Homo-oligomer: A and B are copies of this chain.
């Protein structure tokens, strides 16, 4: 199939680029006098070589820009690249099995942040840096996806946030390049600012670089087992909170502010995003006052952990399962929320929640006045029902896949809390789950391999807003 070959060709170019960056951890370990630098160099050569051959084999394939091609391309990119970029964690000092390496790499590229590694503090810098790098790459991938590709495919109601009213034609490609370029500049600049701020808050240079990459991408990999709880200064938590909050905002806002120098229109999802964060952190702190165990740092921890979960980053500033009985259900629900559309965050996304609430309000009004007309609005904007419907459909698909995933994990021998919270955290790309096995102070290492495979697939499906993966199962797609 010509379209598949063309998609694989594009994927091989991106994959090759990522393989080259495996030299970064090689240099890091060389600088740290770790002999394992050669492992990373080997991984880079091996992976880049593999992609080069795939690229040559698929050279010359051409495909018209079409929804079908878009779907195939996006799937190839997000399935093949993580699954074929496992060498650094297999040959490198981590010496993981294929399943573990694939789980960790998928969790990285999808910016989920669930990990199978323990004893992070004693790992070589190369391995830690590689984990941060793939999350950072995953973040750019997500931005392009949410701001350009999915709106073009009219998936999940994201067309509401299209940067420009582009029709579906070949001229989408140059636009794509321009938007991606300006987003990348902003992403790089914010990451640098974040690293400097972390440094000033007392982090080491190495920690600051790593955490800046996994903060802006809302990924959540840390260089310490205690995650952000490792750092004693509350200022570190405030820096993290601020930049995670930015990572969960629509990057089109920053593009408008910086490149177009326009006053952006008020986007209701941003307002609700901030309201929900403030409300949840307030509730959480009230719940901690109820336990009697709290301090000034608790406020920083509460704000940090709420933002960490709602932006689907997944850092932990402490074990919130100990923070009063409200904390666990609150974090469980926040896991679904996600940040704003057009950000690096996963989850259902705030604007979809707004759409759902508005639809219910409109339906309730119609019950009282059956002959009245109550259009669904997004803010003051009256929006095409088709867009709302596609936002709704994504939420329904999320629930359906969540149900199936929970059943599968249950059948694989996990308890209900592990199955349910593991599925949610994977599909929403958050990171930590709940319960004794995969809770915020645990890792995913004790799960059976079959469950790791299930969760890795859920992470990719979640990253692609479910629909892009589900559509592969439609016979119509292959006719």
Contact = CB atoms under 8 A, between A and B. Distances in A.
Interface of A: 67-68, 71, 153-155, 168, 287, 325-330, 332-333, 356-357, 359-361, 363-370, 389-390, 392-393, 395-397, 399-400, 403, 406-407, 409-417, 419-420, 434, 467, 470-471, 474, 476-477
Given A325-B411, A326-B407, A410-B325, A153 B367 contact: yes
Nearest 4 pairs between A and B by C-beta? Answer: A329-B410, A363-B393, A326-B411, A325-B413
Given A325-B413, A416-B434, A417-B417, A364 B333 contact: no
Given A471-B367, A471-B368, A474-B365, A406 B329 contact: yes
A432 B369 CA distance: 38
The secondary-structure label for the interface of chain A is: helix
Contact of A370 (B154, B329, B389, B392): B154
25 contacts: A67-B368, A71-B368, A153-B367, A154-B366, A154-B370, A325-B411, A326-B410, A327-B410, A329-B409, A329-B410, A329-B416, A329-B419, A332-B406, A332-B420, A333-B403, A356-B400, A359-B389, A359-B393, A363-B393, A364-B467, A364-B470, A364-B471, A368-B471, A392-B392, A395-B396
A365 B413 contact: no
Contacts of A417: 416-417
A416 B335 CA distance: 14
A74 to B, nearest CB: 11
A407 to B, nearest CB: 5
A308 to B, nearest CB: 19
A416 B467 CA distance: 29
A467 B67 CA distance: 38
Stoichiometry, as copies per complex, reads 2
A390 to B, nearest CB: 6
Contacts of A332: 406, 416, 420
A406 B390 CA distance: 27
B396 A359 contact: yes
A31 B409 CA distance: 54
B410 A476 contact: no
B416 A330 contact: no
A162 to B, nearest CB: 14
Given A329-B420, A395-B396, A399-B399, 12 more contacts: A155-B367, A287-B411, A359-B392, A359-B396, A360-B393, A363-B390, A363-B467, A364-B470, A364-B476, A365-B474, A368-B474, A369-B476
A123 B361 CA distance: 47
B370 A410 contact: no
Contacts of A71: 367-368
A417 B420 CA distance: 11
- Residue in A153, A407, A410, A471 with the greatest tally of chain B CB atoms within 10 Å: A410
A359 B477 CA distance: 17
Contact of A476 (B325, B329, B365): B365
Contacts of A403: 333
Contact of A168 (B356, B370, B467): B370
Q: Which of A357, A361, A396, A434 has the most CB of B within 10 A?
A: A396
A415 B474 contact: no
Nearest to A397: B360
A177 B326 CA distance: 48
Contacts of A400: 356-357, 360
A185 B174 CA distance: 71
A367 B67 contact: yes
